[in-house]
């Protein structure tokens, strides 16, 4: 897997721990290996957005936890190569380890929730990954083909913003993946969402639906909803594009604290409007998937 070689000092450690440097039975990252690795996963959902910072990783984690709490087996695959956030947000510091049959064992968050991220291959978490497109393509292929997920009901794939190498690789390599598009309500974000919708139409990726994040803010004192970035734009965009609207997640400053501290928002604030919104959105996903 010359493909997992690196440029720049920071990524050398990652290259040296690259799984394909171990003996493999199937060509690492081959279509055959990917098919076998993903064979027992019922639903593959790629969380994407046109714009950065709209809450993809937060939505991924909280939907994953909501689905896991409802008894489903869930995996999170972090394909945000340049800004992998998932392990920190889950509060996991472990490194990825190899199984006896030389596959990657996912990080375990709970019995129902596992995760894989490139960050968990890096000894120094502040290392920058300085890779061009083909290297990212190879690395993602290997993650897809070499992780031993076992049986999962849902694999949630957290992608970086935009329609670049990472979402394109997922769209090309997982032909039954469906997109969950995350947006915030303001027009500038919605304009980028329309690009994500066009991307899905162009690469023929099915869209499971759209989530509007930071949709109003419930005042903790008077419980009135303040339309921080507006509200309802996502629902209208989904309607215009004829895709499912999966839910509105309000703004809650505790989300930032939980994300930074690697704590579960759902566990820390189970009775909040945000927790309720995540559970409802997870239920809509369940209703619309296998």
Ligand X SMILES: Nc1ncnc2c1ncn2[C@@H]1O[C@H](COP(=O)(O)OP(=O)(O)OP(=O)(O)O)[C@@H](O)[C@H]1O
Check: CB of residue 170 under 8 Å from CB of residue 179. Answer: no
Among the listed residues 251, 264, 278, 285, the single contact to ligand X using CB under 6 A:
251
Torsion of CA 239, 272, 47, 40, to 10 degrees: -110
Check: CB of residue 236 under 8 Å from CB of residue 204. Answer: no
62 binds Mg ion (CB under 5 A): no
Distance CA 196, CA 214 (A): 19
Tokens of 129: 């990954």
User: At closest approach, how far in Å is the CB of 266 from ligand X?
Assistant: 13
Q: CB nearer to ligand X: give 18 or 45.
A: 45
Among the listed residues 51, 56, 114, 248, the single contact to Mg ion using CB under 5 A:
56
How far is the first Cα of the chain from the last one, in angstroms, to the nearest whole number? 35
Distance CA 155, CA 178 (A): 10
232 binds ligand X (CB under 6 A): no
Closest to 232 measured CA to CA, from 186, 178, 280: 186
Q: Which does 91 bind (CB under 5 to 8 A by kind): Mg ion, ligand X, none?
A: none
Closest to 183 measured CA to CA, from 64, 47, 43: 47
Among the listed residues 66, 68, 107, 214, the single contact to ligand X using CB under 6 A:
214
Q: Which does 256 bind (CB under 5 to 8 A by kind): ligand X, Mg ion, none?
A: ligand X
Q: CB nearer to Mg ion: give 82 or 206.
A: 82
x/- binding map, residues 156-175, to ligand X, per CB under 6 A?
----xx--------------
Burial status of residue 286 (CB atoms within 10 A of its CB: 0-12, 13-18, 19 or more): middle
244 binds ligand X (CB under 6 A): no
Among the listed residues 4, 46, 54, 190, the single contact to ligand X using CB under 6 A:
54
Tokens of 27: 């060509």
User: At closest approach, how far in Å is the CB of 182 from ligand X?
Assistant: 7
Binding site for Mg ion (CB under 5 A): 56-57
Binding site for ligand X (CB under 6 A): 49, 52-58, 80, 83, 85, 160-161, 213-214, 249, 251-253, 255-256, 259
């Amino acid at each position: 897997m010359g493909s997992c070689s690196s440029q720049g000092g920071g990524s050398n450690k990652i290259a040296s721990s690259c799984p394909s440097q171990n003996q493999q039975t199937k060509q690492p990252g081959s279509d055959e290996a990917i098919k076998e690795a993903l064979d027992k996963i019922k639903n593959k959902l790629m969380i994407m957005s046109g714009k950065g910072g709209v809450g993809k990783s937060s939505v991924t984690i909280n939907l994953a936890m909501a689905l896991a709490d409802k008894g489903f087996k869930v995996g999170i695959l972090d394909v945000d190569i340049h800004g992998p956030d998932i392990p920190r947000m889950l509060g996991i510091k472990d490194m990825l380890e190899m199984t006896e049959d030389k596959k990657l064992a996912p990080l375990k968050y709970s019995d129902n929730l596992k995760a894989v991220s490139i960050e968990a291959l890096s000894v120094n978490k502040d290392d920058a990954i300085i890779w061009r497109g083909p290297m990212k393509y190879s690395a993602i292929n290997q993650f897809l083909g070499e992780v031993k997920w076992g049986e999962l009901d849902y694999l949630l794939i957290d992608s970086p913003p935009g329609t670049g190498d990472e979402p394109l690789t997922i769209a090309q390599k997982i032909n039954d993946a469906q997109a969950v598009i995350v947006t915030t309500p303001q027009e500038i974000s919605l304009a980028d969402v329309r690009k994500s919708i066009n991307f899905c139409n162009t690469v023929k990726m099915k869209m499971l639906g759209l989530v509007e994040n930071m949709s109003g803010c419930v005042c903790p004192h008077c419980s009135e909803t303040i339309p921080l970035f507006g509200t309802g734009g996502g629902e209208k965009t989904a309607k215009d594009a004829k895709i499912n609207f999966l839910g509105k997640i309000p703004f809650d400053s505790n989300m930032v604290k939980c994300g930074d501290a690697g704590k579960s928002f759902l566990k820390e604030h189970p009775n909040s409007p945000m927790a309720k919104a995540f559970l409802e959105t997870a239920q809509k996903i369940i209703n619309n998937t296998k």
